[in-house]
């Protein structure tokens, strides 16, 4: 019978503690904690430092370089050639069969019309590659910005929850110490002491869990910013 009463009392204490924390969370709001200026700094830091962003920047730079190279290649269909001719022989005798009538340097220009006609298409293709690179970069920036904001909001939520759980832990700890002293003086029953002890253990476990979740959220956000949050002012 005592065990049953103890279990019921523990359940009531746990439900009351959970209700108080839930009520406190409901009354609190993280909207006042949100700093949109700081959030924009987080996004800007992620766009500047995240390794994948640098990859998209390199792809865009290569695409733009290909456009410049395609424009310069307008001269590729034309090629300059020259030939050096001489009548000088290895001996004083002149070999009539091999002597050239025209001596000196001779220049010529060759032209490839098919290559010239393909240049507009090549330049257009290079410009389209730039547009594709810009679109890929813009799309990833949107994804990165959303991830930063989502993780920032979760970080704030756990930060506020950590404060509430810490307050509940302190209250539970103080209550446990009071009941323990009263129990040792014979002013409280074993059921009272056991309930206070169980509530304190539950508060300690909740504190450890919320601390771990808070640290994980911080690490997750810093994965995108690359820098520690303390260094982002």
Helix, strand, coil percent content, the chain, rounded in steps of 5: 75, 5, 15
Please provide residue 102's backbone torsions phi and psi, each rounded to the nearest 5 degrees. Answer: -115, 125
Give me the residue spans of the domains in the chain: 2-75+115-231
| Average pLDDT of the chain, as a whole number | 78
Average pLDDT over residues 64-79: 69
pTM of the model: 0.65
pLDDT at 23 exceeding the cut of 60: no
Whether the CB-CB separation of 112 and 77 falls below 8 Å is answered with yes
CATH fold for domain 2-75+115-231 = Outer membrane efflux proteins (OEP) (1.20.1600)
Q: Is the pLDDT of residue 142 over 90?
A: yes
For position 21, what pLDDT does the model report?
A: 47
What would you report as the CA-atom Rg of the chain, rounded to the nearest whole angstrom? Answer: 40
Directed axis angle between helix 51-72 and helix 113-184, to 10°?
170
Helix (H) or strand (E) holding 31: none
pLDDT band for position 2 (50/70/90)? very low
Helical H segments across 50-112, by residue range: 51-72
Q: Is the pLDDT score of 46 beyond 50?
A: yes
Q: Provide, rounded to the nearest whole percent, the portion of the chain with pLDDT above 90.
A: 49
Mean pLDDT over 111-120 rounds to 57
Q: Place 15 in a pLDDT band, splitting at 50, 70 and 90.
A: very low
Beta carbons within 8 Å of 134's beta carbon, 6+ residues apart? 60
Percent over 70 (pLDDT), the chain = 68
204-232 residue pLDDT tens = 999 999 999 999 999 999 999 999 999 99
Work out the angle between the directed axes of helices 36-49 and 190-225 (0-180°, nearest 10): 50
* Whether the predicted pLDDT of 106 surpasses 50: yes
Categorize the per-residue pLDDT at 25 as very low, low, confident or very high, splitting at 50, 70 and 90: very low
Under the phi-then-psi rule, with left for phi > 0, alpha for psi from -120 to 50, and beta for the rest, what region is 227? beta
Residue 66 confidence (pLDDT): 82
pLDDT (average), residues 112-126: 66
For residues 53 and 59, give the distance between their C-alpha atoms in angstroms, rounded to a whole number: 10
Residue 38 has pLDDT above 80, yes or no: yes
86 three-class SS: coil
Task: Give the three-class secondary structure for 96.
Answer: coil
Lowest mean per-residue pLDDT among 66-70, 117-121, 217-221:
117-121
Task: Give the sign of the dihedral formed by CA 100, CA 106, CA 109, CA 110.
Answer: positive
What lies within 8 Å, CB to CB, of 205 at 6+ separation is none
Span 11-25, mean pLDDT?
47
Distance separating alpha carbons of residues 121 and 73, to the nearest angstrom: 12
């Amino acid at each position: 019978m005592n065990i049953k009463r103890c279990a019921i009392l523990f359940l009531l204490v746990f439900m009351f503690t959970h209700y108080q924390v839930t009520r406190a969370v409901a009354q609190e709001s993280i909207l006042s904690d949100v700093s949109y200026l700081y959030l924009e700094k987080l996004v800007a830091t992620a766009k500047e430092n995240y390794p994948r962003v640098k990859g998209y920047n390199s792809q865009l730079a290569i695409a733009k370089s290909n456009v410049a190279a395609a424009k310069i290649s307008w001269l590729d269909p034309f090629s300059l050639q020259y030939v050096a001719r001489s009548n000088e022989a290895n001996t004083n005798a002149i070999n009539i069969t091999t002597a050239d009538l025209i001596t000196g340097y001779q220049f010529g220009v060759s032209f490839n019309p098919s290559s010239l006609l393909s240049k507009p298409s090549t330049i257009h293709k290079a410009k389209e590659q730039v547009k594709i690179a810009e679109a890929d970069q813009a799309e990833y920036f949107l994804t990165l910005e959303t991830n930063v904001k989502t993780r920032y909001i979760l970080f704030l939520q756990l930060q506020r929850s950590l404060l509430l759980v810490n307050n509940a832990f302190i209250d539970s700890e103080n209550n446990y110490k009071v009941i323990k002293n009263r129990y040792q003086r014979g002013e409280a029953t074993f059921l009272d002491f056991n309930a206070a002890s169980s509530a304190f253990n539950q508060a300690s476990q909740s504190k450890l869990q919320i601390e771990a979740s808070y640290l994980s959220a911080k690490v997750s956000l810093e994965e995108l910013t690359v820098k520690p949050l303390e260094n982002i002012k």
